[in-house]
């Protein structure tokens, strides 16, 4: 049995299937951010730990990550 890896940002969703839907990183996948912007990836982990973001599946069947407005850097 293969063990599934759980992402610290997206949980059970694969990081390449979840896209950021705000700011200068809009349209980038979480996996792409993890590879190219490790500091911002750490920020996203901290935001999740504080409960300041959510992931929603849109009508286009894509998963989008949002961070609450008051806590964006």
Digit-coded pLDDT (tens) for 1-55 = 556 778 999 998 999 999 998 888 999 999 999 999 999 999 999 888 888 889 9
Q: From CA 16, how far away is CA 1, in angstroms rounded? A: 23
pLDDT, position 50: 87
Q: From CA 30, how far away is CA 39, in angstroms rounded? A: 13
Instruction: Map out the domains of the chain as residue ranges.
Output: 15-71
pLDDT, position 69: 60
For residues 19 and 64, is the Cβ–Cβ distance under 8 A?
yes
Q: From CA 57, how far away is CA 36, in angstroms rounded? A: 24
pLDDT, position 71: 44
pLDDT, position 70: 58
DSSP 60: T
On whether the pTM is more than 0.95, the answer is no
pLDDT, position 33: 95
Q: From CA 69, how far away is CA 53, in angstroms rounded? A: 9
């Amino acid at each position: 049995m293969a063990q599934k890896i759980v992402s610290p940002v997206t949980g059970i969703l694969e990081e390449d299937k979840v896209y950021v839907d705000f700011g200068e990183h809009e349209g980038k996948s979480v996996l792409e951010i993890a590879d190219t912007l490790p500091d911002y990836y750490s920020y996203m982990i901290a935001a999740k730990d504080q409960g300041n973001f959510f992931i929603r599946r849109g009508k286009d069947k894509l998963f989008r990550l949002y961070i609450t407005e008051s806590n964006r850097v």
